[in-house]
Amino acid sequence: GAVVSQHPSRVICKSGTSVKIECRSLDFQATTMFWYRQFPKQSLMLMATSNEGSKATYEQGVEKDKFLINHASLTLSTLTVTSAHPEDSSFYICSVLPPTGPQTNEQYFGPGTRLTVT
């Protein structure tokens, strides 16, 4: 499978600060990347679809001003959690759609970033 990296793997921050999470596609150029959030014992919830060179598409209920997404290159997308609060503590996972992926929606996931807001 494709290699996707995320940085950092774990971050602890204080309430009110901002945190940036990077997602890199190491095997291919990815026009489309996805950002998910996963709470304990719950399913992956899609937050937004990140498209290189254009604005991200956010799912209903996800605040675009709070979760800033920048897909500046074909191998890098960033998610910035602004003014983080304890309820934002979660496991954030990105995925990439390879060039052959759109037909089948095969997504390759990064290892995830554990965010804890104190």
Binders in 22-41 for other proteins, by CB under 8 A: 32, 41
CB of 79 to other proteins, least distance (A): 14
DSSP 42-103: S-EEEEEEEETTS--EEPTT--TTTEEEEEEETTEEEEEE-S--GGG-EEEEEEEE-TTGGG
Q: Which of 33, 35, 71, 110 binds other proteins (CB under 8 A)?
A: 110
From CA 76, how far away is CA 78, in angstroms rounded?
A: 7
Question: Is residue 60 part of the contact set for other proteins (CB under 8 A)?
Answer: no
Binding footprint of other proteins on the chain (CB under 8 A): 1, 4, 6, 32, 41-44, 46, 59, 91, 93, 95, 101-112, 114
